[in-house]
Amino acid sequence: MAAPPGLDESLLQTISGPRDLRLLPAAHLGALAREIREFLIAKVMARGGHLGSNLGMVEITIALHRVFHSPEDTLLFDTGHQAYVHKLLTGRRADFDSLRAHGGLSGYPSREESPHDHIDNSHASTALAYADGIAKARRLKGEESRAVVAVVGDGALTGGLAWESLNNLSDGESRPVVIVLNDNGRSYAPTHGGCARNLGTLLENLGFVYLGPVDGHDIAAVERALRTARTLPSPSVVHCKTRKGYGYRPAELDLGEHMHAIPASDPRTGKPLSAGGQTWTHVFSERLCALGEARPDLVAITAAMAGPTGLEAFGRRFPGRMFDVGIAEQHAMVSAAGLALEGFHPVVAVYATFLNRAFDQVLLDVAMQRLPITIVLDRAGITGPDGPSHHGMWDLAILSAVPGLRVAAPRDVRRLRELLDEAVAVDGPTALRFPKAGAGAELAAVERSEGLDVLWSTGDDVLLVAVGATAEACVEAAATLAAEGVGVRVVDPRWVLPVAPGLVGAAAAHHLVVTVEDGVVTGGVGAAIAQACAGGTRVRQLGLPPAFIPHGSRERLLADAGLTGSGIAHAVRKELAR
């Protein structure tokens, strides 16, 4: 590295990689930490992203890159949303202007971006399992001098997978894995459970060398602990106490989430630049509270996301009837099953993508026992800038395989209220999905026929089957096609799985059926309709491709998939021309 920066050059500008950081005199590290926070506040406020978790990670990340030599040493971040400082110190400073934009810097570790990112990691509680496998591989290859470090924080230790991994890491074999516990007492919300209160004793009893607690905002103290851990032949834990949002007053004062994930905001005040409108999540939250007043048997369960899934208001209104189980979706489902067995109707609200983790429990603990549980899937379909791991595009394909489960997909917020009411009245398992988006305008039906809402009707050439939030685009496509002389009928099944007999009958009255869903096209609602209509009407399925769709705006990604009015009309024309 060159000489210390001059008056016009910041310390951060001199850091093009970890080697530069290691050569920086220790006396400059405090100033560097301040510059990093200023940089993060400016860049994340401009584009939106995970702010609070990264402000709390500045000193730990500086210490990690001074003690360990990435990428020869392996640094894993769990959860991945706390890796912004790592990205900044590994040569990606200039890319932050495109943070979470289409084609730009990912908000999570990405192997495509940098050799310093060893895993694509965004879901919680996975890093310790990766570390166990990598350390085993290093031993088999004779590369045990290459350190393996797993940074665990933001509630990741509330997940069962993390404890399965700790069990294996402490099996008595000498694998020098270093676990850095970023203990900020939180995930999205305060961390729940007995583990959070007894970490030091518990980890020592498991056989880990325990170092700490250390002030996670004291770079020298963290460095000393890490250097000690690096010399140990057995697994160790460096317990760092930090504050989420540290160094930015609006984040520290935000006692709810400490500005965990934010939209574009004013850096002076921390307030969003756009006031925004009512969202699907807000409408769900309000309606659930109203149902809770009338139904004392309703209880709510969240997996560490009471605020983002809309359950926070229910918890304030009915504090004894809302349960935060931590980042533990599997436990959430089976605990809900226990509540249902005792006469309650649980509403389990999770991100659609996180339902993937609990499929076995939905199948064999909920559906097989025909239990009255309502699963509410927030952020279904394309979510936007959080990228491939967070798009809620697999739920319809997964749930279509579950016997006895009824799945609803409201097209607008009025139908969200109606379908939630219907779902909690069903004496069996139900699921209801909606997107991460503004509430938008209501889309009234022309008529209701055989359980289907008819949204447009000008003929029987084409039946457009709109799944949930795709209805608006389907009506737009119908208007375009009708102007071209094509007879189109648009129907919204409301309850999309299993396929309603009335929909099969409606399909038989048309020359072509085109299904439109914002889920993966293989195995979803369209596939179920095609199977139900086998041997009859031709069915063309439109949906998201079976691929890992990158991050970008929801509008851009839906357009790329052809799920706009013009895209749907184009697909119908091509199919009619065959």
Task: Give pLDDT tens digits for 174-208.
Answer: 678 999 999 887 544 445 555 555 678 888 888 89
In 370-461, DSSP assigns E strands to 374-378, 406-408, 430-433, 447-449, 452-457
Q: 3-class DSSP state for residue 240?
A: strand
List % helix, strand, coil for the chain (3-state, nearest 5).
Answer: 40, 20, 40
Is 182 annotated as a binding-site member?
A: no
Distance (Å, whole) CA 537 – CA 126: 46
In the chain, the N- to C-terminal Cα span, in Å, equals: 65
Is 205 within any annotated ligand binding site?
no
**Mean pLDDT, residues 35-42 taken together:** 96
pLDDT at 9: 61
Which DSSP letter does residue 380 get?
Answer: B
For residue 269, how many C-alpha atoms fall within 13 Å in the half-sphere facing its CB? 6
Is residue 3's pLDDT more than 50? no
Mean pLDDT of 203-227: 94
Which run of H or E residues covers position 151? strand 148-153
43, 100, 244, 436: the active-site residue: 244
Q: Which is nearest to 434 in space by CA: 413, 453, 449, 406?
A: 413
Instruction: Say if 331 falls within a structural domain.
Output: yes
Kindly name the residue from 175, 357, 411, 494 that is annotated as catalytic.
Answer: 357
CA distance 230 to 525: 52
Q: Are residues 304 and 403 in the same domain?
A: yes
Q: In 521-568, at which residue ranges do the beta strands (DSSP E only) sit?
A: 538-544
Q: Are 239 and 122 part of one and the same domain?
A: yes
The answer as to whether 170 is a domain residue is yes
Structure tokens at 378: 């927030």
402 has a pLDDT exceeding 90: yes
Question: 391, 411, 433: which is the final residue of a domain?
Answer: 433
Task: Give how far Cα 362 sits from Cα of 13, 345, 392, 405, Å.
Answer: 50, 15, 17, 9
Kindly report, residue by residue over 120-162, the tens digit of the pLDDT. Answer: 987 789 999 999 999 999 999 999 899 999 999 877 888 899 9
Q: How much is the pLDDT for 194? A: 55
Beta bridge mates, 302 = 324, 349
Buried b / exposed e across 26-57, counting CB within 10 Å, b at 16+? Answer: eeebeebbebbbebbbebbbebbbbbbbbbbb
pLDDT at position 186 is: 59
Mean of all residue pLDDT scores within the chain: 92
Q: Lowest-confidence range among 75-89, 256-270, 281-295, 548-562?
A: 256-270
d(CA 158, CA 439): 32
Give the whole-number percent of the chain exceeding pLDDT 90: 79
pLDDT for res 157? 84
Residue 5 in domain: no
Query: 347 and 402: one domain?
Result: yes
Percent of the chain with pLDDT over 70: 95
Picking from 16-30, 275-289, 323-337, which range would have the lowest pLDDT averaged per residue? 275-289
The number of beta carbons lying within 10 Å of the beta carbon of residue 269 is 10
Cα–Cα separations (whole angstroms), residue 551 to 41, 390, 435, 464, 544: 21, 9, 16, 28, 14
Q: Are residues 508 and 459 part of one domain? A: yes
Q: Is residue 7 part of a domain?
A: no
Question: How many structural domains does the chain have?
Answer: 3
* CATH number of the domain within which 175 lies: 3.40.50.970
Distance CA 282, CA 553 (A): 21
Q: Exactly one of 252, 329, 379, 433 is catalytic; which is it?
A: 329
122 is in an annotated binding site: yes
- Residues 31 and 176 occupy one common structural domain: yes
Predicted confidence (pLDDT) per residue in 69-101, tens digit: 999 999 999 988 999 999 999 999 999 999 999
Per-residue model confidence (pLDDT) at position 260: 82
Residues 340 and 244 in one domain: no
Q: What is the pLDDT of residue 537?
A: 87
Q: Is 329 annotated in the active site?
A: yes
Pairing of strands 406-408, 495-497: antiparallel
- In a domain, residue 488? The reply is yes
Residue 463 and residue 571 in one domain: yes
Other C-beta atoms lying within 10 Å of the C-beta of residue 357: 22
Reported confidence tier of residue 559, pLDDT bands at 50, 70, 90:
very high
Are 453 and 421 within one domain? no
**Domain finish residue from 235, 262, 289:** 262
What is the distance between the alpha carbons of residues 427 and 345, in angstroms, rounded to a whole number? 9
Of 105-109, 127-131, 254-258, 428-432, the least confident: 254-258
Residue whose entry in the numeric block shows the structure tokens 């880990």: 208
> Is 156 among the annotated ligand-binding positions?
yes
Structural domain boundaries enclosing 225: 12-262
Q: What CATH number did the domain enclosing 495 receive?
A: 3.40.50.920
Are 237 and 370 contained in the same domain?
no
Q: Which is nearest to 41 in space by CA: 246, 307, 274?
A: 246
3-state secondary structure of 272: strand
Across 27-36, 101-110, 271-280, least confident range: 271-280
Q: Is the dihedral of CA 196, 201, 202, 206 positive or negative?
A: positive
According to the model, what pLDDT value does residue 6 have?
46
Distance CA 457, CA 44 (A): 46
> Domain for residue 270, yes or no?
no
Report pLDDT for 195: 55
pLDDT band, very low/low/confident/very high, at 509 (cuts 50, 70, 90): very high
Of 262, 296, 330, which closes a domain? 262
Residue type, 501: P
329 is in an annotated binding site: yes
Bridge partners (DSSP) listed for residue 322:
300
Same domain, 93 and 205: yes
Q: Does residue 352 sit within a domain? A: yes
Q: Is 244 a catalytic residue?
A: yes
Q: Could you count the other beta carbons within 10 Å of the beta carbon of residue 4?
A: 12
Do 307 and 185 have their domain in common?
Answer: no
For residue range 343-356, list pLDDT tens digits in order.
999 999 999 999 99
The answer to whether residues 83 and 77 touch, using CB atoms and an 8 Å cutoff, is yes
Q: Rounded distance, CA 109 to CA 117, Å? A: 5
Q: Do 558 and 429 share a domain, yes or no?
A: no
Q: Does residue 555 have a known ligand-binding role?
A: no
Least confident among 6-20, 114-128, 325-339, 482-496 = 6-20
Evaluate whether residue 273 is within a structural domain: no
CA distance 196 to 212: 15
